[in-house]
Amino acid sequence: MSYQEIKYDVQDQILTITLHRPDRMNAFTHVMRDELIDAFDRADADDDVRAIIITGEGKAFCAGADLGAGKDTFNYEARGLKVEDQIHRDGGGQVTLRMYDSKKPIIGAINGAAVGIGATMTLAMDVRIASDAARFGFVFSRRGIVPEACSSWFLPRIVGISQALDWVYSGRVFPASEAKEGGLVKSLHKPDELMTAAREIAKGYTEETSGVSVALARQMMWRMLGADHPMEAHKVDSRGIFFMGQSADVAEGVQSFLEKRKPDFKMSVSKDMPVYYPWWEEREFK
């Protein structure tokens, strides 16, 4: 698939996805939705991709949904869908659900304005860092609409329910310093240092680590957020310890430690995930 509204670039086992509609402040469209989903499918199938960075082209990260249709932007009935049918799927949610399923760590490098879907799409990323010039806004109450992109699940888990509700109720746009103070972003950087910082984080995830181990750990951590008892974690932990304990990557990890050298892991995410993976039942939209 060739891309029109994103850029896809792999260097040193790090994929950089750049939202690429700078003339529209990288506003989100159905084309961008489809291209992002395809990019994550492609990344999961490529063993040369070990980590993913997402950023925006130009002065904005993503200014939200493209409002080119004016007051009918969110009116799907005007596009021929009947409200009573309830068949419409939120495009932002389709993207964040695909991110949630990713086998590769995701780092958000928020270079500028991140508003609406521009803010909520970042919530399914594992780590968010931001330019000190960035601004954020969960502006739905000021547009008469509701939070989307599964943000009612993600946001309270990241920043706590009180902070989440304050930002969502008010719909105000706030500076990067408040995003950091509220726990939404990990760190702030000068604009020209942001991507260097993101790549350093990515290298920490890709160098001297087992890709299969990282992929399993990512899904274990995210999915246990919804577990109702630590026994659920104990079940999947036990499977992982048993499977990986007899694997080539563990043999190499232990041997390299004993020999005081860097490990050379050979197992691949595309071919060597354990037989119990995935251990969850896929959810249907209905």
pLDDT at 148: 96
Q: Is the pTM of this model over 0.75?
A: yes
In the 8-state DSSP scheme, what is residue 28? B
Span 30-84, pLDDT tens digits: 999 999 999 999 999 999 999 999 999 999 999 998 765 545 455 555 555 565 5
| Range with lowest mean pLDDT among 81-85, 109-113, 207-211, 237-241 | 81-85
In tens, the pLDDT along 223-236 reads 999 999 999 999 99
pLDDT digits (tens, 9 = 90+) for 184-221: 999 999 999 999 999 999 999 999 999 999 999 999 99
DSSP 260-284: TS-------TTT---TT-S-SPPPP
**Which tokens in the block code for residue 95?**
């993207």
Phi, psi for 161 (deg, rounded to 5): -65, -40
Query: Residue ranges of the alpha helices (H) in 102-184?
Result: 117-120, 151-159, 161-170, 176-181
Instruction: Give the closest residue to 133 by CA, choosing from 171, 195, 177.
Output: 177
- At 247-263, the pLDDT tens digits run 999 999 999 999 999 99
Give the mean pLDDT of 258-281: 96
Look at residue 72 in the predicted model and tell me its pLDDT: 47
Cis peptide before 263 (omega within 30 of 0): no
Closest Cα partner for 27 from 36, 38, 37, 19? 19
Residues in the chain: 286
pLDDT per residue as tens digits for the range 69-89: 545 455 555 555 565 555 678
Exposed / middle / buried, residue 285 (Cβ in 10 Å: 0-12, 13-18, 19+): exposed
Q: Residue 109: in which H helix or E strand, if any? A: strand 106-110
pLDDT band with cut points at 50, 70 and 90 for residue 1: confident
Query: Which residues are within 8 A (CB) of 211 and not within 5 positions of it... i.e. 6 or more apart?
Result: 47, 50, 265, 267, 268, 269
Mean pLDDT of 2-19: 97
Residue 88 is predicted with a pLDDT of: 79
Classify burial at 226, counting beta carbons within 10 Å of its beta carbon; exposed 0-12, middle 13-18, buried 19 or more: exposed
- C-alpha closest to that of 109 among 41, 162, 185, 29: 185
Calculate mean pLDDT across residues 170-197.
98
Complete domains list, the chain, with CATH: 6-206 (3.90.226.10), 210-286 (1.10.12.10)
Q: What is the pLDDT of residues 127-165, one digit of tens each?
A: 999 999 999 999 999 999 999 999 999 999 999 999 999
User: From CA 263, how far away is CA 274, in angstroms rounded?
Assistant: 21
d(CA 138, CA 115): 6
Yes or no: say if 220 and 32 are a contact pair by the CB < 8 Å rule.
no
Predicted local confidence at residue 30, as pLDDT: 93
Cα distance between the two ends of the chain = 29
